[in-house]
Chains A and B, each alone.
Chain A
Amino acid sequence: MVDAFAYVPAIVLLPFFSFVVALAAGRYLPKGGAFGGIAATAGSSLLSLWVLATVAGGEAYNETIYTWASAGGIGPTDIELTFGLLIDPLSALMLVIVTLVALLVHVFSLGYMNDEGETGLPRYYAGLGLFTASMLGFVVADNLLMAFMFFELVGLCSYLLIGFHFREEGPPSAAKKAFLVTRFGDYFFLVGVVAVLATFGTAQFAGDGSFPALADQALSGAGDVAWVPGGLELGTWFTIIGLLVLGGVVGKSAQFPLHTWLPDAMEGPTPVSALIHAATMVAAGVYLVARMFGFYALTPTTLAVIAFVGGFTALFAATMGVVKDELKQVLAYSTISQYGYMMLALGAGSYVAATFHLMTHAFFKALLFLGAGAVIIAMHHNENMWDMGGLKERMPVTYWTFLAGSLALAGIFPFAGFWSKDEILYEAFVHGLNDPLLLGGWVMGLLAVPVTAFYTFRMVFLTFHGEPRSELARDPEPVRWNVKGPLTVLGSLAVVAGLVNMVPVQKLLGIDGIDFLTQWLNNDFGGIDGVSYSAYNDLLATYGGYAPAELLGLSEELTLLVAAGLSLGLAVVGVLVAWRLYNVASPTEHTAKLGGIKDVLYNNYYLDELQVWTAYRTEDAAGGADTFDQGIIDGVVNGTSSVALAAGSRVRRIQTGLVTHYAAMLTLGLLALLVALGVSGGWFL
């Protein structure tokens, strides 16, 4: 039998070849290299499905394939820096998600980029190809260093694609900001990688010698680590490492306070926003936490921080989404908010709920962005929702798919987002009763539900309902199959993807076997020991005291119903408020009612200003350093030489300043030295 795992490198390399081809020969190819990209991502998708099927057949793969470098470490053995593949239920699932979204985005780009007559298409498709390859490399990485490397490459691609329209002022600036802000997070991540290598001598994710396993053994007294800095307690040090790696996660997954780059990143072409800034790259942070969850499960403090940051971000970003006027801006803040939910889930110890929401969100947010892209094509690149309205009749496919995505985002039963978000809130709630930080995260997550539903449907109503508010909206440009096709696929997924994990239904009605995703991630089909939902639950129970609490003596079923009912009810309230305010023939802004809060929200709580201020102060400091350097340090150097020159004024006659004279003197001096040495050494005898 042919082994699917042998083709995993091809999944990564196919899009890479598409990058090379588009870069080298894109301008000679039809459609600027688009077909190469489509073929490559289609190939990767098929291979990923094959891998998924193989994993479903009970196989897994965890092998090193290439040693990058190796040298002596602190312990007796060498530290090997390697590349390898880790294919288990989590990464196989992620491979399918990434390749599928990438494929659809490539197809959509035909409509959004080629049909719109953009220039620089080879560069665009090269960027998409390199991005897809880097992201897939990140997904299959079997160790933290390799993950970091591809994580950074993903950041590079994001830079290149945000700044795609480099001839304008905005995109290069946004690209710089995106790279720099995520770099700041990656700095902590890199320190974390180095700390992991120094501490454990390995950065492997899974297996007996992996760092989560070693950490577990060290904490339980069954083993030892190579190094711990300056007498720190093991638990403290592991918490520090966990928080360091979390820095990278906060940057890439756009969590507070490093979320500011993501709304700016909307300067990139819309398909890029869908692929990178919603469905995949931003997911990299959350995926990383899930990937090394065996380590995070050992440090309850880190988990509580993750949960709190996540819950806070979910609410914080959602409030800013309420006042935005541009379609993509709303979606940007919504993305930040949704990743907050995933972080909340991880912090609550619910690995499955986070992965579940990662998956459903990838589908419905890619859908919403592509839908927004279709609207933007129709509106001739006007993104202001106040110029839209009434597009429902004029672009039905876009409307109905967008509506499906919106219902999913708002968490309305039975769309995909309902299931995953509900599970997150439930898990945060039952675990949060033991931990105030976690409970705080849950409260904020719950408060974000109606806000999410409100801004989502404000967006839907303003865009598609009511009367057209501009000439553009009255006569939108039609879109073709290459736009409608991807929308339809994703629209279907937004409706049904939630059905893979109907945990509440299973518990309430006692129907077994419909919690497919939970079984999948629990290695019920097969996987790698120690990397599964139940293994993590054991760790959580041992180290964090994570156990579901009973609420006021209610039974589990009742708690479940109350939690689901609460979040659904709040979501419906949000939708109804939006309906009341904006589903009218000619809606008005209503934001004036917010008073001073409106300005705060419009200006994103002034956090961008704070970061710009920090950048300027850094520049001032640099200017000060430069003055110091030129004035004091170099001043001393020049001063010394002046003193020397003044003292040597008597020999000024030979300081002719003529280079030829100096040359002659140097040559003569060298000659004299050689002669002297030669004579004294008896060289000429």
Chain B
Amino acid sequence: MILEAFIAFTFVAALVVMVAPDEWAGKLAFGLSLAPFLGSLYLWSQFDAVGNALTGGTIAFESRIEWLEVGGRSISWFVGLDGISLPLVVLTTFLVPLAIVSAWTPIDTRQSQFYGLLLFMEANLLGVFAALDFFLWFIFWEAVLVPMYFLIGVWGGPRRKYAAIKFFVYTNAASLLMFIGFMSLTFALGDSVSSFGLPEITQAIAAGGLGTWFGFEAGTIAMAAFLAMFLGFAVKVPIVPVHTWLPDAHVEAPTPVSVLLAGVLLKMGTYALLRFNFTMLPDQASALAIPIAAIAVISVIYGAMLALAQKDLKRIVAYSSVSSMGYVILGLVVFTEYGVGGATFQMVAHGLISGLMFMAVGVMYNATHTRMVGDMSGMADRMPVTVGILVAGAFGYMGLPLMAGFAGEFFIFVGAFGAPSLPYAPIFTALAMFGIVVVAGYLLAAMQKTLFGPFRLETDYEVGRAPLHDVAPLAVLLAAIIVLGVAPDIFFEMIRDAAGPVVEGVSVDV
């Protein structure tokens, strides 16, 4: 029951903050959000899962309550964690308190609603990563969109309504596609499953339970379902060419929301891809290995090129997320322990690093009220600590060794380079790796123009150092990034344990 208590507490906290006075809603939200973080640390300490939750491994904190029955299949409250979901739960609960603190300076209207929605979103995110029943998962998945819509649409920048609606409609339409894909899969499974439990469905498919349905062959249905789900999740990730909602959403979203959007929400997409597409339908995934790898490489290089063309610091970081997510897709499609494990590790690493970058850009924005590269220069002179951490974070983004990003990327590269299931794997990998040069190019160029050189900024007030509560979350994130980079096994060990069975799902003639 501990997971229920964990998620329920976050919901209650959201409600409490929602009705609190605006003056101290931020402090209250921060205090309350520490409880889920400590809770996730407790979960981590008690974690005892073995293998992958979907393929028959032992599930930690498993809890299953029969809820209702639809069409001969039961829907349950079914939650639990394994080595893939626990790191993402820890990431979420770690990022939320930091995002809340980073909101103290910029958010100055309707604070209680803002923080309430933030916590409401956290609760749903935890649900997404913990749920093991399709319907339960789907409810959390969709419910995440609601607070996000309001957080962008109410507290966002000048074009917030456009961005919020684009985000909502785009991802929601994708969800519909994914929903149809998954449903056709369950119908084709016929009587071989009796619930919407994800482990049961996964194992039934692996055992050859897919039958003909409406005259379609099992293979056709599986492939169609794979494509529908892939496209649905691809929007969330996002993968080129369905990525255009992301920069708009990021540019308009307030800093703390960007932090969570890049840090956690994008990982919903990659997490779902891993769970549904690559774990449930590994044969289809490896049949489509070449096009998927091609899309991954295009995402990496094209995303990086787009980042190079931007003048808004937030857009630069936003597009570089597209690039980084391309690595994750590459890691998933190669079906090796290093590949899939590295992709999962990269989800966490990118969550921390992009969170740090958005936060640091936000702290500078608080002081300068601009994010445009040409508007300022020499910020290092006025905000040395913030800039120092921003530079460190940027190097983390470039994949500097002994920081988390390098570990994730390197695992993916090692896993992908000689991957037997992907034809031309060395060429795909080498092409994707060129991203590390482009990312260095645009981040270094942007840093040189804004942070260094003589100080220049048109303001009618004195730009000074950022307050402590702006800088402290940056420092905490940087510390986490370095710790994970030096000792990736903190997470990688459990991730590898859960990724192993996924890899075995693909039979390859070596």
Contact = CB atoms under 8 A, between A and B. Distances in A.
B209 interface: no
Contacts of B489: 67-70
Given A167-B378, A227-B418, A641-B169, A622 B308 contact: yes
B94 interface: no
A539 to B, nearest CB: 25
A221 interface: no
B377 to A, nearest CB: 9
Given A626-B310, A677-B68, A166 B436 contact: no
B433 interface: yes
A167 B454 contact: yes
A190 B433 contact: yes
Interface in A153-187: 153, 156, 163, 166-169, 171-173, 175-176, 179-180, 183-184, 187
B309 A187 contact: no
B510 interface: yes
A191 B414 CA distance: 9
Contacts of A230: 424, 426
Contacts of A167: 378, 380-381, 452-455
A680 B445 contact: no
Interface string A230-249: 10000000000000000000
Chain B interface category by residue count: 35 or more
B488 A69 contact: yes
A166 B401 contact: no
B50 interface: no
B496 A682 contact: no
Interface string A497-510: 00000000000000
A70 B378 CA distance: 43
A170 to B, nearest CB: 9
B510 A74 contact: yes
B305 A682 contact: no
B504 to A, nearest CB: 10
Interface string A528-561: 0000000000000000000000000000000000
B107 interface: no
Interface stretch (B28-36, B184-192, B333-341, B348-356): B333-341
A226 B336 CA distance: 15
A195 B448 contact: no
Nearest to B315: A626
B418 A229 contact: yes
Interface string B380-415: 110000000000000100101110001100110111
A219 interface: no
B306 interface: yes
Contacts of B492: 69, 71
Given A149-B402, A229-B426, A168 B453 contact: yes
Contact of B302 (A67, A81, A618, A625): A625
Contacts of B161: 657
Interface string B436-453: 110011001101100111
A575 to B, nearest CB: 42
B70 A681 contact: yes
A171 B150 CA distance: 45
B68 A195 contact: no
Nearest to B416: A194
A581 interface: no
A69 B146 contact: no
Interface in B446-467: 447-448, 451-455
A176 B306 CA distance: 20
Contacts of A227: 418
A94 interface: no
A292 interface: no
Contacts of B23: none
Given A183-B440, A621-B305, A156 B400 contact: yes
Most B Cβ at <10 Å: residue of A70, A183, A657: A183
A72 interface: yes
Interface in A597-646: 615, 618-619, 621-623, 625-626, 629, 633-634, 637, 641
A176 B417 CA distance: 29
B436 A195 contact: no
Contacts of B487: 68
Nearest to B418: A198
A190 B413 contact: yes
B429 interface: yes
Main secondary structure on B side of the interface with A: helix
A152 B153 contact: no
A183 B310 contact: no
Contacts of B380: 166-167
Contacts of B420: 74
Given A71-B337, A149-B401, A190 B436 contact: yes
A633 B322 CA distance: 15
Given A169-B454, A637-B244, A622 B306 contact: yes
A666 interface: yes
B448 A152 contact: no
B500 interface: yes
Nearest to B336: A72
A2 interface: no
A197 B342 CA distance: 15
B401 A198 contact: no
B217 interface: no
A94 to B, nearest CB: 20
B371 to A, nearest CB: 17
A226 B244 CA distance: 42
Contact of A633 (B244, B453, B496): B244
Contact of A629 (B306, B415, B426): B306
Contact of A74 (B153, B336, B441, B447): B336
Contact of A184 (B154, B341, B430, B437): B437
A222 interface: no
B433 A74 contact: no
Interface string A61-77: 00000011111111000
A28 interface: no
A614 to B, nearest CB: 11
B308 A682 contact: no
A234 to B, nearest CB: 15
A198 B488 CA distance: 20
A662 B487 CA distance: 46
Contacts of B146: 663, 666
Given A198-B414, A621-B305, A681 B402 contact: no
A71 B338 contact: yes
A172 B448 contact: yes
A623 B401 CA distance: 30
Contact of A623 (B302, B309, B413): B309
B452 A166 contact: yes
B306 A626 contact: yes
Nearest to A163: B452
A651 interface: no
17 contacts: A67-B489, A68-B489, A71-B337, A73-B337, A73-B414, A73-B418, A152-B400, A152-B406, A169-B454, A172-B447, A175-B448, A194-B410, A194-B417, A230-B424, A230-B426, A637-B170, A678-B68
Given A166-B451, A167-B452, 15 more contacts: A68-B489, A71-B411, A72-B496, A79-B338, A166-B453, A172-B451, A198-B414, A229-B425, A619-B309, A622-B308, A625-B306, A637-B170, A641-B169, A663-B146, A681-B69
Question: Which 3 residue pairs of A and B lie closest in terms of their CB atoms, listed nearest first?
Answer: A681-B68, A198-B418, A149-B401
